[in-house]
Structure 1
Amino acid sequence: MVVFTLPSYPYVFKLIRDQFRRRRIPRDKKVIDRYHLVKQHDRVGRLSDAWEFSYTALPLARFTPELLEELKAEAASQLSEESNQLIVKHLFIRTSS
């Protein structure tokens, strides 16, 4: 996962990487399924709840050039740009506290 925060948002954003560092980790569908498993069965109060979103628009002005570069390098298939918005195909969001 690529994990980041943005100024003035009280959230942590998580995107699935295009390529995983270890070959044993499965692709997108299995990662999403594992998040659902944890959310439904395994968490027992240990993890904060993560919300799942598709095609989320975030203002490009909130991203530093370095963060945009990292996101494009790690998860380019999840991203597109429209006018002044970064559209994220699939991401998880949780509160930062």
Structure 2
Amino acid sequence: MSAVYLTVKGSMYHLDSDKHGWEIVYSTTGREFKDRQAAIDDGLVTYRSDDFNIATVVDGALVAFGWQHQDFSTDGANLPDVAAKLGLQVAS
């Protein structure tokens, strides 16, 4: 039950038919790293900036999502949306 880390790129798209007008789409290279720093290093090379996120995955389920060494809110409010867009489950 070890954690793996993924680099995740979020892109905002305008949707004409959506009453909110915008949607964030998440993508990943699919490369898994056993160390968060290795994922960060890979993201810096892959995206040529620090404009990416880190997903923490345990047994195929997204357990945390953040930037660099910090996870966003620990209440998990955004995890279902991010997980669905990455094809992952959400940890229960």
Give TM-score, length-normalised by structure 2. 0.30
Structure with the bigger RCO (C-alpha within 8 Å, sep 6+) is 1
| Structure with a larger share of its residues in helix | 1
